[in-house]
Amino acid sequence: MMNFKNVFISIVIATALIVAAFLIHRARPAVELDQPGPEYVRATGKCVECHSQETSAIIHQYSTSKHAKKNVTCFECHRPQDGQEEITHKGFTLAKNITALNCRQCHTTEYNQFLRSRHSAPAWAAVSGQKDFSAEQIAYAEKYHPGTVIRPANKLAIIEGRGVMNKGCEACHSIGKPNLDGSIGTCTACHSRHSASVALARQPETCGQCHMGPDHSQLEIFNESKHGVLYLSQKAHLNLNAPAKELTTRDMPVPTCATCHMSGLEGMNVTHDVTERLSWWLFAPISKKRPNYNLGQEAMKNTCLKCHAKSHVDKFYIEAEEVVHSTNEKVQLALNLVAELRNEGLLSPEPFDEPIEFIAFDLWHYYGRTAKHGAFMGGADFVQWHGNYELLLKTVEMKEIAKTLRNRDSPKR
């Protein structure tokens, strides 16, 4: 009897151990389980050995990526490229900073498209001007976007000071920051470092890290549009992981920011040049047609046409352009008023030191832009209440201030 009990206990313990071992094994990241070649073990295995203890979240992120599936090792990204500062790390020579240059080794097409977009040098120059770029970089960017890099640092940023510039403006505009190795920008703003995911890049929230707030309310506009509402309710049924070159309307019958601005839906070209499908400079105080107006508009309309009828799309564009024209007129009136006051000697030559200048700035920078962006991306509330209503209110306020300035100061002259 005693004997049987001992045998029984040892069987129970042995089973428990096997189950426990299995559970522990299963809980380990996939990378550790299926390491294929000796190369992979040398590079990834060694890194993973320590880093599953040191910074385990990185290993978990990496193990879900396409890179892990295709045996792109830690070392392949982390090894130094020409011009990169090196560090010695546990027997490996690694790059001190990983930039777009490291991604470019394998993704030259994406890098080159990115480089000619406004996400590249123009984004950084919008805040800091041309001083951080080489002559070659300036020449390249100016070829695609004249006047966007050769310009002074932004006045408002300078007034607000270094700390704000760093944690504010530059946090978003660093998407086009020049790196010490001669490359420009960061790919991880949309893909993240270790999950390198197209699904993440297709989420509106990813673009919304920067494309939000009163001066460029694209995320808010999208969220209130039919597209955004459908996306939210049908997200679970979408195949956000579909490979970029094979993306169909079955994977994503509902568009997100990426679909309209970047995706290769149904055989279109995938593009990292977010400028490619645009026809107006909507962000400008007075919007003008871009030089490639026809091509840009056609490319965007072709995307719409994967899901909509032509009549529907043409009507949409005609109505949106109507809003561009009427906004231009309203903004022009306000800008004229400020110019007149300045000519009359009632305002100092400095920007941003008198209340009416802030009102004029808000008028085009918040409300004018919002009205135009709302019209092109389906945000009725932004065309009306956050846009045109405010345009009217601010115009009335500005006229009042102008009257006071003229009355107050006229006796002096």
Q: Are 194 and 62 in contact (CB under 8 A)?
A: yes
Task: Report 252-271 residues binding ligand HEC (CB under 6 A).
Answer: 252-264, 270
Q: Is position 131 an interface residue for ligand HEC (rule: CB under 6 A)?
A: no
Least separation, in Å, of the C-beta of 230 and ligand HEC?
Answer: 6
Q: Is position 46 an interface residue for ligand HEC (rule: CB under 6 A)?
A: yes
- The secondary element (H helix, E strand) that includes residue 202 is helix 198-202
Exposure string (b/e) for 147-179, b if CB count within 10 Å is 16 or more? ebbeeebbeebeeeeeeebeeebbebbbbbbbb
Q: Is position 235 an interface residue for ligand HEC (rule: CB under 6 A)?
A: no
Q: Which stretch binds ligand HEC (CB under 6 A): 11-19, 86-94, 331-339, 355-363?
A: 86-94
Instruction: Please report the DSSP string for 83-117 in residue order.
Output: T--EEEETTEEEESS--HHHHHTT-HHHHHHHHTS
Least separation, in Å, of the C-beta of 365 and ligand HEC?
Answer: 9
**One of 121, 247, 331, 402 touching ligand HEC (CB under 6 A):** 247
Beta bridge partners of 280: 289
How far apart CA 68 and CA 36 sit, in angstroms, is: 11
Whichever of 3 and 88 has its CB closer to ligand HEC, that residue is 88
Least separation, in Å, of the C-beta of 361 and ligand HEC?
Answer: 11
**One of 39, 129, 168, 381 touching ligand HEC (CB under 6 A):** 168
Q: Are 375 and 323 in contact (CB under 8 A)?
A: yes
End-to-end CA distance of the chain: 118
Count of chain residues binding ligand HEC (CB under 6 A) = 121
How far apart CA 95 and CA 81 sit, in angstroms, is: 7
**One of 141, 278, 334, 360 touching ligand HEC (CB under 6 A):** 278
**One of 76, 132, 344, 397 touching ligand HEC (CB under 6 A):** 76
Between 365 and 404, how does the x/- string for binding to ligand HEC read (CB under 6 A)? -----------xxx--------------------------
**One of 116, 272, 386, 394 touching ligand HEC (CB under 6 A):** 272
Q: Which stretch binds ligand HEC (CB under 6 A): 15-23, 32-40, 197-205, 331-339?
A: 197-205
**One of 202, 330, 386, 394 touching ligand HEC (CB under 6 A):** 202
Least separation, in Å, of the C-beta of 121 and ligand HEC?
Answer: 9
Q: Is position 28 an interface residue for ligand HEC (rule: CB under 6 A)?
A: no
Structure tokens at 113: 């498209």
Task: Report 325-364 residues binding ligand HEC (CB under 6 A).
Answer: none
**One of 28, 288, 308, 403 touching ligand HEC (CB under 6 A):** 308
Q: Is position 130 an interface residue for ligand HEC (rule: CB under 6 A)?
A: no
Instruction: Please report the DSSP string for 251-271 in residue order.
Output: T-SS--HHHHHT--GGGPPP-
The residue whose two tokens read 């007075």 is 286
Q: What is the CA radius of gyration of the chain?
A: 28
Which residues fall within 8 angstroms of residue 344, CB to CB, at 6 or more apart? 406
Task: Report 214-233 residues binding ligand HEC (CB under 6 A).
Answer: 216, 218-219, 222, 226-227, 230
Give the CB-side neighbour count of residue 381, counting CA atoms within 13 A. Answer: 10
Return the DSSP state at 313.
Answer: H
Return the DSSP state at 179.
Answer: P
Q: Which stretch binds ligand HEC (CB under 6 A): 120-128, 325-333, 381-389, 405-413?
A: 120-128
**One of 80, 84, 103, 338 touching ligand HEC (CB under 6 A):** 103
